[in-house]
Amino acid sequence: MTLTPNYNPLPVTLREGHGTTVTDVEGRDYLDFLAGYSAVNFGHSHPRLVEAVAEQAKRLTLVSRAFDHDLLMPFANALTELTQTEMMLPMNTGAEAVESAIKAARKWAYDVKGIEPYRAEIIAAEGSFHGRTTTIVSFSSDPDAKDGFGPYTPGFITCPYGDAGAIENAITENTAAILVEPIQGEAGVLIPPEDYLPRLRELADQHNVLLIVDEVQSGLGRTGYLLDQWRVGVKADLTTLGKALGGGVYPVSAVVGRADVLGCLTAGTHGSTFGGNPVACRIGLEVVELLKGDYLERATKLAPRLRERLEAMVEQNLLSGVRTVGLWAGVDVHPDLGLTGREVCERMLQCGVLAKDTHGASLRLAPPLVVTEEELERGLDGLEAALKGDLPS
Ligand SMILES: *Cc1c(COP(=O)(O)O)cnc(C)c1O
């Protein structure tokens, strides 16, 4: 075995993907109800994205930030306009965007807020998922992600997710930022109380603390909003974007937000060889254009049907819990069925639908936003059949 065993994929080997459908090496088709954890929001091999990569690959692929290129400022302008922010910092992966936001917040805390070196604290939430770097796993509460990787980066405090009062109590004069997901994706699509993010916004304002919202998974259409924070009327100081920003064809991430915060990262203080490269910017520009289309409306329009079908499965005692926003759902397999999330996903695979378990008996559903009503029904038929054990022979 030459491959590091840090994943345990479902037993299927894919070779092609178009729209909502992926094909395995034997030629069997599956509906993709995971969509690369929302990276493939626009569907596999979107013609405009494929065209953009091919065209740009023939023109200019990498200059590093040692030189400028003709697409960097256009992408910065387009993304800040789309997200109604002042400044953007281009990176590659989601974890890098979060790391960059943490660095910007700390720099701001020392240079602007005047916290004593090196006392800055960042308050995060229990059950969060922000990536896999040593600093990020330092405040993870998932033993698989954290144990064995110490010594851990200090300067983080965690509070129960959804509890604004706990965060209020945790704020001190050394608090630089609050870092949360607007919905916890990896944890099983956990939706906090409606007033959670608005309360955090108020606390951040009251205490001169930054609010960093990680929208790597929730952002760019998944919940029917360009940024999920807009669903509850909140504007973060820094927002991290990733996954769908690269349209599922390329790693593209960014931090967008306040110029007086990101502006603390002056020349030489932070960087990335590939961040903001010409191919990434070309794809990012195309993604910004796509997001002006009807993807958000589609997510909103199909959302009630997704919820209705899943709630019917609760009534049939197939599921014990359902959480949905837009085209995103976390479901808990009913304990009476005695099935793990993994077993349900393996059965769904047999039914021609790909999904992924999260923790224990929970599953996450996130079909590409191009999913048709008929495909949505078919994918949910697959889940229902898997739960009932009605498997094809
Ligand atoms: C996936 C994810 C990340 C990490 O992104 P990578 O590209 O895998 O590094 C960070 N935050 C959230 C909320 C995510 O869902």
Would you say the CB of residue 128 lies under 6 angstroms from ligand 1? no
| Residue 359 pLDDT | 84
Would you say the CB of residue 250 lies under 6 angstroms from ligand 1? no
* Mutation test residue for ligand 1: of 129, 161, 364, the one with most atoms within 8 Å of CB: 129
Which residues are 77's β-sheet partners?
none
Instruction: Give the CA distances from residue 179 to residues 65, 113, 153, 156, in Å, rounded to whole numbers and listed in that order.
Output: 28, 17, 15, 10
Would you say the CB of residue 213 lies under 6 angstroms from ligand 1? no
Would you say the CB of residue 246 lies under 6 angstroms from ligand 1? no
Please state, in angstroms and rounded to a whole number, the distance separating the CA atoms of residues 180 and 190: 12
Task: Decide if pLDDT at 284 tops 90.
Answer: yes
* Mutation test residue for ligand 1: of 216, 249, 252, the one with most atoms within 8 Å of CB: 216
| Residue 372 pLDDT | 97
Question: Cβ distance 275 to 92 under 8 Å?
Answer: yes
| Residue 79 pLDDT | 98
User: CA end-to-end span of the chain, whole Å?
Assistant: 32
pLDDT digits (tens, 9 = 90+) for 175-209: 999 999 999 999 999 999 999 999 999 999 999 99
Closest C-alpha among 53, 70, 26 to residue 276: 70
pLDDT digits (tens, 9 = 90+) for 213-261: 999 999 999 999 999 999 999 999 999 999 999 999 999 999 999 999 9
| Residue 360 pLDDT | 84
Which residues are 91's β-sheet partners?
253
| Residue 50 pLDDT | 97
Please state, in angstroms and rounded to a whole number, the distance separating the CA atoms of residues 355 and 329: 11
Please state, in angstroms and rounded to a whole number, the distance separating the CA atoms of residues 334 and 204: 39
Would you say the CB of residue 239 lies under 6 angstroms from ligand 1? no
pLDDT digits (tens, 9 = 90+) for 350-381: 999 999 999 889 999 999 999 999 999 999 99
3-state secondary structure of 90: strand
pLDDT digits (tens, 9 = 90+) for 53-108: 999 999 999 999 999 999 999 999 999 999 999 999 999 999 999 999 999 999 99
Strand spans (E) along 163-277: 175-180, 210-214, 238-241, 253-257
* Residues labelled as active-site residues: 129, 214, 243
Q: From atom 15 of ligand 1, which residue's Cα is the shortest distance away?
A: 217
| CA angle, 64 then 80 then 179, to 5° | 90
Confidence band of 393 (pLDDT split at 50, 70, 90): confident
Closest C-alpha among 16, 13, 39, 21 to residue 382: 21
What is the mean predicted confidence (pLDDT) over 333-351?
97
Interacting residues of 292 by C-beta distance below 8 A, sequence separation 6+: 82
